Amino acid sequence: MESEIRQLVDMGATVAQARAALKRCSDVMEAAERIFDGAFDNIPDEPAATMMQSADPIKERRATTRLVTPEEEDDADEDVVGSEDESEGSDDGFANYDLDDEMQDDTCGAQVDIDPYAGIFFSKDRREEVIEVEEEPETVYIPTVAERVKVMTQSQWMKGCPEGGEQGFLFSLYSQLVEGQCPCPSGCGYSIPRAKNHFFAIFSTFEVYIKCLRGIVRKTCKRCSKVFCFACGEPINGPRLLESTKANEDRDLFHCSNLQGIILGVGLAMLEQLYHDQLQNLLFPENKARTSKRRKTDPVISSPMILDPDDDDDNYLSPPTQGKKSKLGVGYAGDQKEDTTGQAEAQAIQITKDEKLGELMAQLRMFLPSLRRPGGALTSDYLVHPTALAHLRRRFNNICSSLLRNDSLTDMSERSSVYFELFEWLETISNHEALASMMAMPIMVVSSVRTHTPKRATDGAPPLRERTVIYEGSSGPRELLESIVIQANAAIKGLEGIRPIEATFDDMTEEQKRITSDTKGKSKEAFLLPFSEENQKLLGFCQRILATAEAIDRSLRETKGQKFLDRLQDALPKIHSSDPASREVFIGAEASEEAVRQMYISWATRVRFEYCDLTVPLPADKPANQDEPPNYKFYYNTDARMLASSDIPKRSLAIAKELAVLTTNLPVAWDSSIFLRVDETRVDIIKALIIGPEGTPYQNGCFLFDIFLGHSYNQLPPSVKYMTTNGGKFRFNPNLYADGKVCLSLLGTWAGPGWVAGKSTLLQVLISIQSMILCEEPYLNEPGWATSSGTPQSNAYSANIRRMTVKTAMLGNLKNPPEPFGDIIRTHFRLKARSISTQLDKWLSHDDGLPTVNDGASSGCGRGGIGSSMNGFQGDVEELKRFLKQLQDGTVPPHRS
């Protein structure tokens, strides 16, 4: 019984109420309904010594105040079965949903230092193993709509739920509504049989489902003429609903929490199926016409809660397999162009799909519990069914997670019909106390699936298929939304342009004032006017994102308290300032390799993108001239100063989109990462640091690039200059010249697929440099040498680059760190000191002893080098190892960049 008591306590009952209800009721579901109806309000709470501890101490007090629905007020004088219990309690009106502040004030010091949510909702270190059964669904013909439909099985209803308590509620509701009779509440003996197709038929559209549900919910007893609900068996207030109107018919669907659980469960299943089908057609358009029976070798990306009963065991999302990277250079021998045909058609198809998905989301959102419903809250808004949270966490979160993980703010804004509706869902959920905690709860996702041998039923029925599904915690909805908030703030910064902000509140329209006021504290309160239509569209979308995050946080503060919100905010991703203290990371000598790797990735993720001051400080004796643009620590300083007063809307829009993507999508890994620094007042001035990838002669070297987004960006590619050249002496690659020229087709400086105006991005340029130029066998990047893989010439070329990497990209950058990456470089070498020491030993053992060649691409390895057969490589390695030891010991003085 203790587990049942715990479930009821978590739902808001006191321990005493839970015990009393379970003694009188046959199951937890019935007990919960009776408690919510107020039948046990008169039960005094148990002494503190014997009370079970709830997850929320405040909830214990709140639970003593019953929520009274408007319909209950009208029905107060009606005779209801069980009125003897209910008459013992008393109600004094509606419960106050804004009790958190009041209770915190009441309890003074008793609660002020207590965090009731510590470790409850925020930990993603969860792993649940569930055995799920697959049943063959029935099909029935529905004469009222002339449609043959499938009926949701119990396994489909419960599929994808890893929570034991939620499974119990799902099972109870399904069993209640597909079995037995629904008796008249007056006790006259009349009853109506229930069938699966009454509530669990999957129609072609949600509108048809609601139409059929509306026609069966309201029942009239043929013996006593009592009007009652077919879902819960309780009386429906007749006088208020005598007039047959659509509004009154729809009001019937909000009569009880049972209906809420049914509509959300079936509606979300239909929504998920539609989303899955659209995703499948997007990823595998050639499979549109294939039958539902799929071979296990077919590639399938799917959700664990899909309705299709014919899906084989691959009906789960599996991690992609990782293969060994091919040894390929970029030595294109001729012109190549990217095929961009069909993009407009694909975009139009996507818009149509999004409109259909957004329409279904809007229809279903009307049935979410909401105390702010236009016209006033209804019964099911107060009496939230226990399965409502289960449906939202397993089905809605599946779609929510997929949409919020989109790494392109531009794509999101172009799909506004879906994303604006998604934001409405998030706000509606966060506004209700019974659902708000879901915003912070980790989303349980499928990590693995193991199929069992089908069990043949004894009655000749089709065999049952079982799967063991492992669920693991991942980022919750609010955490996922924060990544988009970061992108939105970056886009707004880009839209502000590079001029001083001149617009004020007096110059704004009422709509612009409202948007700016809603997001105060998230972005600057003024922006350049007028915007082009496209710029304004992106700005409005970004402001909507920020407003959604603000609304969710405000609701969580009101419903869950400041402690809850503080813990959530601490766990959210952030863009850190350029304060060196935020980047300093030290690690003990006893730390394991796995711990070091995790710390490195965590640190790199935290500091990969930052705004900083890249201006050259004025001499102390020289007064500042407001009319003269500053100088920058930047190769393209002259070009940047010439554009200091330019206002180019298309360019601003392109930069805004770039910044939005770069803030959260720069690649971070133990093997190789990219770090970016953007001037805080000139977002077109960028510096990049790329860590040489593992397995290449550039491994763990730090390679610096200056990037300028020029006058015609992004109709033309950015300007990129390579800066790690040992003072203009070393050519590190056929595509990286000693003078800093970067040869890359995207930049128009190399053969191959070129820059596509409005489509190509700076992120593509950075990743191309990281993977295609800083490659495993750079000798192949020269067109004439592209077929020379593994030759002595190629091996000698790589050995030459390894010596240059150690001398310049490693040791040189440690001695004289380039601004503003001093702390990044030092921390990179400190955290990877052990790994780099092993790497250096390996490189030294494989060195060919030849002199270092400044320009191996033109001079040929082994000729025209500096030094002698004693090429100095061993000395550089030993000196670098001493630096690594000092970094680990903390004896290297900090360098402030």
Sheet holding 609-612, edge to edge: 609-612, 674-679, 685-691, 702-708, 719-722
Residues in CB range of 33: below 8 A, 6 or more apart: 232, 257, 383
Catalytic residue among 400, 743, 775, 861: 743
**DSSP codes joined into one string, 780-807:** GGSGGGTT-TT-HHHHHHHHHHHHHIII
Both structure tokens of 484:
């988009």
Distance CA 68, CA 383 (A): 9
Distance CA 477, CA 866 (A): 58
Helices (H), 608-720: 637-642, 649-665
In contact, 413 and 545? CB cutoff 8 Å? no
Tell me the CA distances in angstroms from 198 to 119, 135, 150, 335, one per residue in order: 42, 19, 12, 64
Q: Is 737 helix (H, G, I), strand (E, B) or coil?
A: coil
Distance CA 634, CA 617 (A): 13
φ/ψ of residue 16, rounded to 5: -65, -40
Distance CA 563, CA 640 (A): 46
Which letter, b or e, does each residue of 398-431 get, where b requires 16 or more Cβ atoms within 10 Å of its Cβ? bbbbebbebebbbebbbbbbbbbbbbbbbbbbbb
CB count within 10 Å of CB 49 equals: 5
Residue 108 a catalytic site member: no
Going by their DSSP bridges, the two strands 609-612 and 674-679 should be labelled as parallel
Q: Is 606 helix (H, G, I), strand (E, B) or coil?
A: helix
Going by their DSSP bridges, the two strands 685-691 and 674-679 should be labelled as antiparallel
Distance CA 717, CA 815 (A): 33
How long is the chain?
A: 897
Q: What is the DSSP secondary structure assignment for residue 852, as one 8-state letter?
A: B
In contact, 692 and 672? CB cutoff 8 Å? yes
Give me the sign of the Cα torsion angle 89, 90, 95, 96: negative
Residues 513, 516, 521, 527, Cα dihedral to 10°: -110
Residues 345, 350, 352, 356, Cα dihedral to 10°: 170
Q: Which residues pair with 687 in a beta bridge?
A: 677, 706
- What proportions of the chain, in percent to the nearest 5, are helix, strand and coil? 45, 10, 45
Angle between helices 2-10 and 28-36 in degrees, nearest 10? 40
- Of 409, 346, 333, the residue nearest 750 (C-alpha): 333
Active site residues: 743
